[in-house]
Amino acid sequence: MTRISILKRGDMNDEQGKVYDAVEAAGGPLGGPYWAYIRNPTLMRLAQEVSNCLRASDLSDRERQIAVLTVVRHWGGEYPWAVQVKASLAAGVDQEIVDAINARQTPKLSDPREKAAHEVAGELLAEHGLSDATYANAAKQFGEEELVALVAVIGQFSMVCCTANAFDVTPPDAEPARLAD
C-alpha cells in the first residue's frame, strides 16, 4: 500500500494544479514517485524537464532503457520496474535481456554501446565510481556528451527509485512485470 496519499486534482493548491495540468497536457507521468513530487511543484516540473532532456540525448532508447533497468534492479524499485519493463520492451529490449537484469545476471548484449551502458550503470552503483578501464571504454563508446547523459540517467532513476521505495509506491496492477526475489 502506498504510504503517501494520492492528491486528487481538486485537492491541489494553485501551484500544484498548474504543474499537474501542464504535465498531463504534455503526456508526462503523473503516478508512482510523481505522487510525492507533486507536493513540491518545482521539483515535479524540474523532474519532468530533466526526463525530457535526457530522452532528447543521443543515447538510443535501448541504451537508456538497459541502464534504467540496471538502476531499478539495483534499488529494488517495484513501481519503476513494473513501468520500465513495458517501456523497455517498447524500445526493443528483448525479454531475455529484461529477465537477465531482473535475475541480477549479466545480459547477453552484442552491441558494445548497450553493453557499456549496462556496465557503467552496474559499476557506478556497486562501486560508487568507475574503474579507469570502464571509464575509458564508456568514453570511447559514447563520447563525453553522451556519457554525461548516461550518468545523469543513472542518477535520475536512482532518485525515482529512492522516492518510490521511501513511499512504498505500489506498482499498478495493469503492469504485470515484477522484480524477482
CATH numbers and ranges of domains, the chain: 9-55 (no CATH), 61-166 (1.20.1290.10)
Calculate what percentage of the chain has a pLDDT beyond 90: 91
pLDDT 10s digits, 14-43: 999 999 999 999 999 998 999 999 999 999
Mention every residue, 6+ apart, whose C-beta is less than 8 A from residue 173: none
Give the per-residue pLDDT at 1: 66
Residue 136, classified by CB atoms within 10 Å of its CB into exposed (0-12), middle (13-18) or buried (19+), is exposed
pLDDT 10s digits, 38-67: 999 999 999 999 999 999 999 999 999 999
pLDDT 10s digits, 102-158: 999 999 999 999 999 999 999 999 999 999 999 999 999 999 999 999 999 999 999
